[in-house]
């Protein structure tokens, strides 16, 4: 007890306040330089289309004040932390256990929650309000979870930094959209299987095709970049992603360009359409027709697709190919000298990762009913990569947490009407979402460069399984 009190007495921090103030003033001066012109002056269009400058001294002063106070607070917190005795820092060790626990038991709990989620929302918000919560939050987040788990195979397991993952998402989406709306296919199916067959079954037939085509593209794009590593690999995959998008924009005869593809058939309940007709889902099951059934069905569909992705990647990790991936991530040269075929290992990672991207793309096209190249910009790739990296590379639960925080948080921002009361009626929180997103990426890297859940569980072990915090694992060359 006495030792505790004595350490408490020592903990009284000696803080150099004059230094804190100097720091804060310097930070404010830098902020004045940074923001003085870009926030203090706004370029605008006048009524007769002339460019004019509008001064905003009030806003600038507000931001400078915020920087001053913020720097002061951060400086104070850091000073207090540094003054703390070393024993207090030991409490940190418990942290990696929490992460391990989350990784181990989090997934079943989360999946259980997800299966109950639509019903819970339905009871609390009613059929009208529930669509928004299931669609904007549930389905939207699950798509990103699935994409994150797919990319996790490439980035997290095989250590290949892919900045063009959205290309495979696009391949999947366009495969489904083009096949389902193509006239020759429609006529062929109508001639052989009857006129109602294709609109009802298009999704279920095209889903595997979309996955296969995406995997095929994964191999095609993976092949030339086999020798590249690290940053160079990232930039080349980015270039490939952009090339595919630019081709989709410019090859109008093929993809209809910027206008995109519309009236893509929606998925049916294994042949039963979701409409108000007598043969529709509601009538068939003796329910009253509302659009909510389709939304709930789509929710469970993407949930199951995502779970398949998670299951397959978790099982693959324990197979020889998965172990080869992880070996490749840790050290490529050692891997090659041990006789692992790095060409095949890398190509399988690209192909399988791309395949799940393709599935997600086909689902996306079916859910939207409309796609255009605008949905497949580089920002999407960055967002998916951010989810994988922020969650902790290789961790399934990390992807879930990061998706909920990033995608859900951004969606939640739209809902915050309270902010309008504070900042005035013209305040639109949605325009700040990418700003906040970029900021989060930087802050997360500064705070936890290894991601939220950075535990590596060995898939092979002698006698006893020991989990290693990835902070202790030596970095290889991806």
Partner 1 sequence: MHKAGTRQGFGDSAKLALREGREGMDVFVQQVINGLSLGAVYGLIAIGYTMVFGIIGMVNFAHGDVFMISAFVALIVFMAVTALAGLSGGVVFLALVAALLVSMFVTSLYNWTIERVAYRKLRGSFRLAPLISAIGMSILLMNFVQVAQGPRNKPIPPVMRDVIVLFEKDGFAVAISYKQILIMVTTAVLLGIFWYIVQKTPLGRAQRACEQDQKMAALLGINVDRTISITFIMGAALAAVAGTLFLNYYGVVVFSDGFVPGVKAFTAAVLGGIGSLPGAVLGGLLIGLIETLWSGYFSIDYKDVASFSILAIVLIFMPQGLLGKPEVEKV
N residues, the chain: 478
d(CA 359, CA 306) in angstroms, rounded, equals 9
Closest separation between CB of residue 217 and partner 1, Å? 14
Cβ distance to partner 1 smaller for residue 115 or 251: 251
Q: Are 371 and 309 in contact (CB under 8 A)?
A: no
d(CA 112, CA 256) in angstroms, rounded, equals 42
d(CA 127, CA 110) in angstroms, rounded, equals 24
Q: Are 180 and 265 in contact (CB under 8 A)?
A: yes
Q: Confirm or reject binding of residue 387 to partner 1 (CB under 8 A).
A: no
From the list 62, 83, 193, 246, which residue makes contact with partner 1 (rule: CB under 8 A)? Answer: 246
Burial zone of 283 (CB within 10 Å; 0-12 exposed, 13-18 middle, 19+ buried): middle
Q: Confirm or reject binding of residue 1 to partner 1 (CB under 8 A).
A: no
From the list 389, 402, 407, 410, which residue makes contact with partner 1 (rule: CB under 8 A)? Answer: 389
3-state secondary structure of 44: strand
Q: Confirm or reject binding of residue 46 to partner 1 (CB under 8 A).
A: no
From the list 5, 33, 270, 424, which residue makes contact with partner 1 (rule: CB under 8 A)? Answer: 33
From the list 1, 4, 47, 51, which residue makes contact with partner 1 (rule: CB under 8 A)? Answer: 51
Q: Confirm or reject binding of residue 250 to partner 1 (CB under 8 A).
A: yes
Cβ distance to partner 1 smaller for residue 248 or 362: 248
How many angstroms separate the Cα of 128 from the Cα of each of 139, 214, 290?
Answer: 17, 36, 9
Number of residues that bind partner 1 (CB under 8 A): 65
Q: Are 390 and 451 in contact (CB under 8 A)?
A: yes
3-state secondary structure of 286: coil
Cβ distance to partner 1 smaller for residue 243 or 276: 243
d(CA 38, CA 36) in angstroms, rounded, equals 6
- Determine phi and psi for 42, rounding to 5 degrees: -115, 130
Q: Confirm or reject binding of residue 67 to partner 1 (CB under 8 A).
A: no
Closest separation between CB of residue 254 and partner 1, Å? 13
How many angstroms separate the Cα of 340 from the Cα of each of 158, 324, 333, 334, 437?
Answer: 13, 7, 10, 9, 39
Which parts of 149-178 interact with partner 1 (CB under 8 A)?
A: 161, 163
d(CA 359, CA 302) in angstroms, rounded, equals 10
Give the range of 47-55, 113-121, 209-217, 263-271 binding partner 1 by CB under 8 A.
Answer: 47-55
Cβ distance to partner 1 smaller for residue 145 or 163: 163
Give the range of 36-44, 267-275, 303-311, 398-406 binding partner 1 by CB under 8 A.
Answer: 36-44
Closest separation between CB of residue 30 and partner 1, Å? 6
Cβ distance to partner 1 smaller for residue 295 or 454: 454
Non-local CB neighbours of 2 within 8 Å, separated by 6+ positions: none
What is the 8-class DSSP label of residue 269? B
Comparing CA positions, the residue from 143, 141, 137 lying closest to residue 360 is: 143
- Determine phi and psi for 261, rounding to 5 degrees: -115, 130
Q: Confirm or reject binding of residue 132 to partner 1 (CB under 8 A).
A: no
Cβ distance to partner 1 smaller for residue 125 or 377: 377
Cβ distance to partner 1 smaller for residue 276 or 439: 439
Closest separation between CB of residue 195 and partner 1, Å? 38
Which parts of 393-452 interact with partner 1 (CB under 8 A)?
A: 393, 431-432, 434-435, 437-442, 444-446, 449-450
Could you give the string, one character per residue 293-322, with x where binding to partner 1 holds by CB under 8 A and - elsewhere?
A: ------------------------------
From the list 111, 185, 212, 228, which residue makes contact with partner 1 (rule: CB under 8 A)? Answer: 228
Q: Confirm or reject binding of residue 146 to partner 1 (CB under 8 A).
A: no
Q: Are 381 and 375 in contact (CB under 8 A)?
A: no
Non-local CB neighbours of 452 within 8 Å, separated by 6+ positions: 99, 390, 391, 392, 395, 398, 401, 402
Which residues sit at the interface with partner 1, rule CB under 8 A? Answer: 30, 33-39, 41-45, 51-53, 161, 163, 224-225, 227-228, 230-232, 234-236, 238-240, 242-243, 246-247, 249-250, 333-334, 377-379, 382, 385-386, 389, 393, 431-432, 434-435, 437-442, 444-446, 449-450, 475, 477-478
């Amino acid at each position: 007890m006495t030792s505790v009190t004595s350490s408490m007495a020592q903990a009284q921090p000696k803080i150099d306040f004059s230094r804190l103030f100097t720091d804060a003033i310097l930070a404010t001066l830098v902020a004045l330089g940074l923001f003085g012109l870009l926030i203090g002056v706004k370029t605008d269009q006048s009524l007769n289309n002339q460019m004019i400058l509008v001064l905003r001294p009030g806003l600038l002063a507000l931001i400078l004040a915020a920087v001053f106070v913020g720097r002061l607070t951060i400086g104070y917190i850091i000073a207090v932390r540094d003054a703390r005795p070393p024993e207090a820092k030991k409490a940190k060790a418990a942290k990696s256990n929490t992460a391990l626990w989350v990784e181990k038991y989090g997934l079943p709990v989360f999946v259980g929650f997800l299966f109950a989620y639509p019903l819970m929302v339905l009871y609390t918000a009613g059929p009208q309000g529930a669509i928004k919560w299931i669609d904007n939050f549930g389905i939207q987040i699950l798509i990103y979870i699935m994409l994150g788990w797919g990319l996790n195979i490439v980035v997290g397991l095989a250590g290949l930094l892919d900045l063009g993952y959205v290309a495979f998402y696009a391949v999947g989406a366009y495969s489904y959209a083009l096949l389902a709306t193509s006239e020759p296919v429609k006529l062929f199916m109508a001639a052989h299987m009857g006129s109602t067959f294709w609109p009802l079954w298009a999704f279920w037939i095209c889903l595997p095709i979309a996955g296969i085509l995406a995997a095929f593209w994964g191999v095609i794009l993976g092949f030339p970049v086999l020798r590249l590593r690290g940053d160079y690999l990232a930039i080349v995959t980015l270039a490939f992603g952009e090339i595919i998008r630019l081709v989709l924009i410019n090859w109008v005869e093929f993809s209809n360009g910027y206008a995109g593809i519309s009236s893509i058939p929606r998925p049916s309940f294994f042949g039963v359409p979701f409409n108000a007709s007598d043969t529709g889902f509601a009538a068939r099951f003796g329910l009253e027709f509302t659009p909510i059934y389709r939304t709930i069905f789509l929710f469970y569909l993407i949930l199951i697709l995502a779970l398949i992705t998670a299951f397959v990647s978790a099982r693959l990790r324990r197979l020889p190919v998965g172990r080869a991936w992880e070996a490749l991530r840790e050290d490529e040269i050692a891997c090659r000298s041990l006789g692992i075929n790095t060409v095949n290992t890398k190509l399988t990672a690209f192909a399988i990762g791309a395949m799940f991207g393709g599935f997600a793309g086909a689902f996306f096209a079916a859910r939207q009913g409309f796609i255009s190249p605008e949905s497949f910009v580089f920002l999407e790739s960055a967002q998916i990569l951010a989810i994988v990296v922020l969650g902790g590379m290789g961790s399934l639960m990390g992807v879930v947490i990061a998706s909920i925080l990033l995608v859900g948080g951004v969606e939640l921002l739209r809902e915050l009407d309270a902010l309008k009361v504070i900042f005035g009626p013209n305040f639109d929180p949605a325009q700040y979402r990418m700003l906040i997103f970029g900021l989060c990426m930087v802050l997360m890297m500064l705070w936890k460069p290894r991601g939220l859940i950075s535990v590596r569980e060995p898939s092979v072990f002698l006698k006893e399984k020991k989990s290693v915090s990835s902070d202790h694992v030596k970095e290889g060359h991806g």
